[in-house]
Amino acid sequence: MSTTAVPAVAVTAVDEGFWTRARKAGAVLLALGVLAAVLFGSLATDQQARFTLSETEGGAALAIHGTVGAILFGVIAAAAGGALLAGVPKRWFTLLLGAGLVAFVLSFLCWQVSAAPDGRNFMPLVNIVRGTFVLALPLIFGALAGVLCERSGVVNVAIEGQLLMGAFSGALFGSISGSVWVGLVAAALGGAFISLLLAVFAIRYLVDQVVMGIVLNLLAVGVTGFLYERLMQTDAAKYNSAPRFSRWEIPLLSDIPLIGPALFRGNIFLYLGLLLVLVIHLALFRTRWGLRTRSVGEHPTAADTVGVKVLRLRYRNVIMAGLVAGVGGASYTLALYSFTKNMIGGKGFIALAALIFGRWSPTGALLAALFFGFADQLATYLGAIGSGIPSQFLAMLPYLATILAVAGLVGKVRAPAADGKPYVKG
């Protein structure tokens, strides 16, 4: 059996001369910064742009003159870009790039907030941060499901279906039993059901994993949609009125300004999601299970020759992924809304994007999910202040960012080497 990793053909070698990755990123950032300073600066008004540390206009706030802010942050972004372009030690790359991008966003916000109609030119940061996390939550669960699967070498395109099935069975069994906890367990099992199908077909029957994922998504849409119309629509009181988890306020922590009200007055899913990121991160990089998982995802034959049970490990991980995604689905139906047809609406694919953008690591996925959640929240906010920026373009942001990432423009993303390749002995 030859599993030597043959690099994909037809990939034209990237000729790295002067234009290293850092320099290219620097050039782009420089252009963005200049654009921000000039365009946002000229469009901003001399209103104050206020960023309040509360949910309303009142209270403590960071305020800056609109035009000044837009130009200042634009210049900062340009300076970071310039520094990268000039060539700086490698360890500065992430820091400078991050700072530059944040400055660009701030410049943009200074313009938008200052140009908002009178009385609305403030940004309640608590709402923004909380909204970011709420919107990022299903992405976090979904991306973690992706991490578990793909790190062991099974491509998980069925995240959407797992979330949807989790949301559905959470709502259904939560309603029937009247218990959130039963609902939560049912949701996890619902997600696991879809991932079990993925595991059996991908591992046992060697069906192409991407194909299987796509088909399973459609299956989940069909089954949940069918049962929704047959059961939930006819008798919503019985089948679609699941109890909801209440908010848990964490003492002390919830009193921290800004972070407290935004993060520590959430529901179980928020805490569970963040905890899972931590746990999976530690487990993946510090434990025996993690070492074996990664080895199976990178070079299953090597793992096999030292006695790791490749297929068993893959089964286990794929099913765990389903459990996690199922809980993610429940974060809708057991906390926020009642079930509706196709209610995940593509979040599973943004979770996939977050997984890739976060380079297949739990913490990376968390950051990517938060970034995507922020873009989503920003769209809502801009709509509320009557900005002219179409929300649709902000909604495209996660997808465009992922395309750029995969094309190698925002750094190199490398999937686990054996991701998507079925393992057959001999």
Partner 1 sequence: MTNPNPASGSPDKEPATEALQAREEARATPTAPAGDTAPKQRPAEAPRPSLGKLFLDNLWAANTVTVTVLAVVLAMLVGAVLIIVSDPDVLATYGYITARPADAFNASWTVVSEAYANLFKGAVFDPDAVGFTAAMGPISETLTYTAPLVFTGLSVALAFRGGLFNIGAQGQATIGVILAAVAGFALPLPPGVHLLVALLAGALGGALWGFIPGILKARTGAHEVINTIMLNYVAIYFLSWIIVQGGVQNPDRADAISKPVESSAQLPRLLGDNLRVHAGILLAVLVTWFIAWLLNRSTLGFELRAVGANPDAARTAGISVTKTYVLVMMIAGLLAGLGGSNMVLGSTADALTPLVIAQIGFDGILVALLGRVKPWGVLLAALLFGALQAGGNRMQSYSGISLELVTVLQALIVIFIAAPALVKAIFQLRAARTARLQTSLAKGW
Partner 2 sequence: MEPGEIHALLGENGAGKSTLMNVLYGLYQPDEGEILVDGKPLRLRGPSDAITAGIGMVHQHFMLVPVFTVAENVMLGAEQVKLPFAGFLDRRRARREVAEVSERYNLRVDPDAVIEDLPVGIQQRVEIVKALTRDVDLLILDEPTAVLTPQETDELLTVMRSLKAAGKSIVFITHKLGEVKAIADRITVIRRGRTVGTAEPSASRDELAALMVGRNVRLTVDKKPAQPGKPILEVAGLVVDDDRQVRAVDGVDLTVHAGEVLGVAGVQGNGQTELIEAIMGLRPVLAGTVSLDGEAASGWSTKKVLRAGVGYVPEDRSVDGLVKEFSVAENLVLDIYDRPPFGRGLSLKPNAIAESARERIEQFDVRTSSADAAVGTLSGGNQQKVIVARELSRPLKLFIAAQPTRGVDVGSIEFIHSRVVGERDAGTAVMVVSSELDEVIGLADRIAVMYRGRIIGIVGPDTPREEIGLLMAGITPDTAPATPHEDSAAATPHEGDAAPAPEGPGNEDEA
Choose the binding region for partner 2 from 5-13, 31-39, 97-105, 228-236 (rule: CB under 8 A): 5-13
**Which structure tokens are listed for 266?**
């959430």
Strand 48-52 to strand 61-65: parallel, antiparallel, or no bridges (unpaired)? antiparallel
Residue 282 in the binding site for partner 1 (CB under 8 A): no
Angstrom distance (rounded) from CA 171 to CA 378: 29
The answer to whether 109 and 123 have CB atoms below 8 angstroms apart is yes
Vertex 414: Cα angle to 9 and 96 (nearest 5): 125
Burial class (CB in 10 A: 0-12, 13-18, 19+), 63: middle
Residue 406 in the binding site for partner 1 (CB under 8 A): yes
Q: Which of 19, 181, 226, 289: binder of partner 2 (CB under 8 A)?
A: 289
Angstrom distance (rounded) from CA 109 to CA 378: 10
**What are the residues whose beta carbons fall under 8 Å from the beta carbon of 272, sequence distance 6 or more?**
327
Choose the binding region for partner 1 from 40-48, 84-92, 320-328, 414-422 (rule: CB under 8 A): 414-422
Binding mask 125-164 for partner 1 (x = CB under 8 A): ----------------------------x-x-x-------
Residue 286 in the binding site for partner 2 (CB under 8 A): yes
Choose the binding region for partner 2 from 2-10, 137-145, 156-164, 349-357 (rule: CB under 8 A): 2-10
Residue 212 in the binding site for partner 1 (CB under 8 A): yes
Angstrom distance (rounded) from CA 262 to CA 254: 8
Site size for partner 1 (CB under 8 A): 68
Angstrom distance (rounded) from CA 332 to CA 82: 44
From the list partner 1, partner 2, none, partner contacted by residue 10 (C-beta under 5 to 8 A by kind): partner 1
- Closer Cβ to partner 2, 287 or 342, answer by number: 287
Angstrom distance (rounded) from CA 426 to CA 422: 13
- Closer Cβ to partner 2, 226 or 289, answer by number: 289
Choose the binding region for partner 1 from 181-189, 288-296, 364-372, 410-418 (rule: CB under 8 A): 410-418
- Closer Cβ to partner 1, 49 or 352, answer by number: 352
The three-state secondary structure class of 48 is strand
Q: Sign of the CA dihedral 36, 41, 43, 46?
A: positive
Please give the backbone phi and psi of residue 64, each rounded to the nearest 5 degrees, phi first: -145, 145
- Closer Cβ to partner 2, 91 or 414, answer by number: 414
Q: Which residues pair with 91 in a beta bridge?
A: none
Helix (H) or strand (E) holding 63: strand 61-65
Angstrom distance (rounded) from CA 143 to CA 138: 8
Residue 178 in the binding site for partner 1 (CB under 8 A): no
- Closer Cβ to partner 2, 261 or 300, answer by number: 300
- Closer Cβ to partner 1, 219 or 308, answer by number: 219
Residue 248 in the binding site for partner 2 (CB under 8 A): no
Residue 119 CB: number of other CB atoms within 10 A?
A: 7
Q: Which residues pair with 409 in a beta bridge?
A: 411
**Which structure tokens are listed for 141?**
């669960």
Q: Which of 304, 367, 370, 405: binder of partner 2 (CB under 8 A)?
A: 304
The residue ranges that bind partner 2 (CB under 8 A) are: 2-7, 13, 286-289, 291-292, 294-295, 298-299, 301-308, 417, 425-426
The residue ranges that bind partner 1 (CB under 8 A) are: 8-12, 14, 153, 155, 157, 197, 201, 203-212, 214-216, 218-219, 221-223, 225-231, 234-235, 311, 341, 346, 349-350, 352-353, 356, 390, 392-393, 395-396, 399-400, 402-403, 406-408, 415-416, 418-422, 424-426
